[in-house]
Amino acid sequence: MNVYDSARMADVLAPLGYRLVDAPDGADMVILNTCHIREKAAEKVYSELGRIKALKRAKAESGGSMVVAVAGCVAQAEGEAMTERAPVVDLVVGPHTYHRLPELLARAERRRAAGDGRGRGIIDIDFPSDAKFDHLPAPTHTQGVSTFISVQEGCDKFCTFCVVPYTRGAEYSRPVGQIVAEAERAVAAGSVEITLLGQNVNAYHGIETKSGETWGLGRLIRHLAEIAGVARIRYTTSHPRDMDEELIAAHRDEARLMPFLHLPVQSGSDRILAAMNRQHGAGDYRRLVDRLRAARSDLALSSDFIVGFPGESDADFQATLSLVRDVGYAQAFSFKYSVRPGTPASMMEDQVPDAVKEDRLAQLQALLRAQQAAFNRDQRGRTLPVLFTGPGRHAGQLVGRSPYLQPVHAIAPARLIGTVVEVAIESVQPNSLAGRLAAPTPAANDERVVA
């Protein structure tokens, strides 16, 4: 979602004459778009600001000036504390108000010109009652072959470990019309894959103004799949509780919906899931996976896991390992529980010592790595539809993505970038696959084929 937000910030700033550059050195403005989900992500911001301070000084010494802004959830959570700890920061803007960047920039400029407010940045971390999406210009910064579209923001779930409900605020779904317009524009600009984004994306319930109906995510996906030129649809991140019938049916009926689903479970222990306020048990998750696989037999799964949540015993952790063994993941993210100030779990007793977290994380990651390697190995000898996204590592090579998001390398002409092509998988590296273009055959799953 930060990638999406960053592109939208560039759209907002384009009319002021700003354009994107590849490196912060010498830039007129640097925006750090930040994540607050774990402590490590937040700490990275301050170390990066140290580096940017040197660049700002160098720019000033050469007679220029650099505006330093911090956006995103660290900005939202830290507010004024940010400019106090890092006076290099001129502007602090949360995820709800970046459409106001031009106005904030003008204020920062005025303050600088007047020579006042040294070390006092401009802060905007409001939760405005109107949605920023109603104020943003149409996207002009195209994202290439594959486009992220934010359809939902915020979260009302309040998992006890998580800062999102506090930084991103209450759940909000964009109206269907806005999303369709954004998808059509992306396709016109050459995109063939759309990834629908939201912190809790399958809680989507957007208004379709013509009918006055409220659409869920399944309905939205079916509609977007009808846009000519859309070859692939994905969505992330989902909550197991919001996986409704309509969405499961979309996995069964809609070939353009890729058979790869990121469905975080966090833990395999009912006790821990309850303490996390996940609102489902491990059995519910297992049954849900069964229903999804009944709908789409080739569905591959990904998940997020937290180890060392307060009170997690060895038996709880074993329950997580056993759920992983039962479900079988193609890929997964796993983290040590990180205390986030202000969240209920941060105040729980029985915090788990770091050494225990470290040991559990190593065990879990070894299992997940083995599952991922096995999943990748299984692709050898298969022919997969690959969406080529750009040049590969070696001359003459392109890289693309399989339906399961694995990077795939193949010798192929550049004109195939932006098309879905059948590739016979011949070898499997730790993090990618390699193969050769297969003879042109009709794609089994109705994707656009060029070969």
In contact, 73 and 33? CB cutoff 8 Å = no
Closest distance between ligand SF4 and the C-beta of residue 158, in Å?
A: 6
Q: Tell me which of ligand 5AD, ligand SF4, none is bound by residue 158, counting a contact when its beta carbon lies within the kind-specific cut-off of 5 to 8 angstroms.
A: ligand SF4
Closest distance between ligand 5AD and the C-beta of residue 372, in Å?
A: 17
289 or 345: whose CB is closer to ligand SF4? Answer: 345
Closest distance between ligand 5AD and the C-beta of residue 162, in Å?
A: 4
Adjacent-strand bridge partners of 409: 399, 434
Residues 182-211 that bind ligand SF4 (CB under 6 A): 199-200
Closest distance between ligand 5AD and the C-beta of residue 338, in Å?
A: 4
Determine the Cα–Cα distance for residues 77 and 421; give it in Å rounded to an integer. 44
203 or 412: whose CB is closer to ligand SF4? Answer: 203
Q: How many residues belong to the site for ligand SF4 (CB under 6 A)?
A: 10
Determine the Cα–Cα distance for residues 327 and 377; give it in Å rounded to an integer. 18
Closest distance between ligand SF4 and the C-beta of residue 450, in Å?
A: 38
Closest distance between ligand SF4 and the C-beta of residue 77, in Å?
A: 14
Determine the Cα–Cα distance for residues 331 and 432; give it in Å rounded to an integer. 12
Q: Tell me which of ligand 5AD, ligand SF4, none is bound by residue 239, counting a contact when its beta carbon lies within the kind-specific cut-off of 5 to 8 angstroms.
A: ligand SF4
Question: Pick from 96, 239, 296, 336: which binds ligand SF4 (CB under 6 A)?
Answer: 239
Quote the strand ranges of 131-230, DSSP E: 146-150, 152-153, 172-173, 193-197, 206-208, 213-215
| Residue with token string 């996976």 | 289
Write the CA distances from 4 to 11, 76, 148, 151, 244, integer angstroms: 11, 17, 6, 11, 26
Type and span of the H or E element at 186: helix 176-188
Residues 67-96 that bind ligand SF4 (CB under 6 A): none
345 binds ligand SF4 (CB under 6 A): no
DSSP codes, 252-295:
HH-TTB-SEEE---B-S-HHHHHHTT-SS-HHHHHHHHHHHHHH
Q: Tell me which of ligand SF4, ligand 5AD, none is bound by residue 48, counting a contact when its beta carbon lies within the kind-specific cut-off of 5 to 8 angstroms.
A: none
42 or 108: whose CB is closer to ligand 5AD? Answer: 42
Which tokens belong to 114?
A: 């007047």
Q: Tell me which of ligand SF4, ligand 5AD, none is bound by residue 306, counting a contact when its beta carbon lies within the kind-specific cut-off of 5 to 8 angstroms.
A: ligand 5AD
24 or 165: whose CB is closer to ligand SF4? Answer: 165
Non-local (6+) Cβ contacts of 284 within 8 A are 240
99 binds ligand SF4 (CB under 6 A): no
- Which backbone phi and psi does 176 adopt, to 5 degrees? -55, -45
Determine the Cα–Cα distance for residues 285 and 383; give it in Å rounded to an integer. 31
Closest distance between ligand SF4 and the C-beta of residue 264, in Å?
A: 7
Among all residues, whose Cβ is closest to ligand 5AD? 304
> Would you give the binding string for ligand SF4 spanning residues 139-158, x where CB under 6 A is met?
----------------x-xx
Whole-number CA gyration radius for the chain: 23
Task: Classify 86 as helix, strand or coil.
Answer: coil
Residues 155-174 that bind ligand SF4 (CB under 6 A): 155, 157-159, 162, 164-165
Give me the residues that bind ligand 5AD (CB under 6 A), please: 37-38, 161-162, 264, 266, 304, 306, 335, 337-338, 340
Binding site for ligand SF4 (CB under 6 A): 155, 157-159, 162, 164-165, 199-200, 239
